[in-house]
Structure 1
Amino acid sequence: MGRDGSLDHHRDLIAMVRQEARKANRVIVLPESALGFWTPTLEKLWHAGLEGSEVSVIAGATIVDAQAYDNVMVAISADGARVLYRQRMPLPVSMWQPWLAWTGQGGGARGNFFANPAVELGGHRIAPLICYEQLILWPVLQSMIYAPEIVVATGNGWWTSGTSIVAVQKASAASWARLFDVPLIAAFNL
């Protein structure tokens, strides 16, 4: 997921979401990077693909500009799409590389450290956590201050084949949710 940016892949993903929605699932959560690069074309494709349904999709994507990129969760429905969440703490060194901006090179993921610790979707307050954020104290505590009704944790584990990284992330997210007595929805790709 996220490694195939073809329109056929996205059409298949939309069909899968619509199939799940028929099972009375009103919100479908897809993993980090599931949509790949979020562009106006993809936004229109997904919006049109969900037309006539009542499903909302929360999915991971990447938004790129000339200076850097944002690792995000987007919310998509028949009513439209919006960036729901921008990752606060990307993985240092491999994603978050602030020295690139300091040296005028650009690139790397932005860290939106104090932004959006809780977001609203359908009248519910959500604590979003992407990947590395599930393992460290700051994003979790910052989100819990806002008394979320649910934790939505996503991750991207295709590159971790043969390791326990995804299992550790899932256990960590479940532990945080249990500690703060907040339900958890998790979506990871492998």
Structure 2
Amino acid sequence: MNLHLVEAPEGLTRRARSFLHAHCLRVDSLPVGQYRERWLELGIPQAEIERVATYGSRWGGLALPPAPHYDGGPRILDPDIPEGSPGERWWFQAGIPRTAVPYGFMIGPNGEFGVHSDRWVPLHSTVEGWVESVALAYHAAMWAKVVTKITGDDVGALQLDGHTAVPEVAGLADTWWRGTDSLVAIYRGEAECMSAPQGRTAFIYSGLDDWGLHG
């Protein structure tokens, strides 16, 4: 396996670019071009193959440190053969899981990053959103004076008055919120995917100064 220093893709925040440079490496990824003809023979549309190729070019082989939820998330961002049918929507693998989890990390029909088991739950509307969320979690944990974890029904009872959504994470099932001196990360995707509301989790990062809030 060949290792490469990470050149951060365009379109990420300064915080995420610094995170990739400091904590991530690139390894070899799926050579989509070698499979193109075979996938076409299997009835996979050209447009879906191009989606996989574009993802592989931008994100393939990116080895991330553990995310704070989803048993660490994907260990390596790396695509695989699209799954679906001409009469259905198409997904493909987002990355190789770090541990054995009862769902796959997938890229959805509209480019969402999410988890797929018996149901599809998009976590972020873009792959960039997932990367930004992991980077923000490391940043917040470093600068917060107090980190509080809550689960289950307590997550639904969180009061977010005075907080604004953090736009760069492109949150769907999972969201980040910024307050006057705190950041709140809410993870609902795994609970929705597994129909287990008790699995909802939130982290409250308190006591942040302006740098800790915005980085």
Common fold, TM-score beyond 0.5? no
**Structure with bigger gyration radius:** 2
| Structure showing greater relative contact order (alpha-carbon pairs closer than 8 Å, 6 or more residues apart) | 1
* TM-score scaled by length of structure 1: 0.28
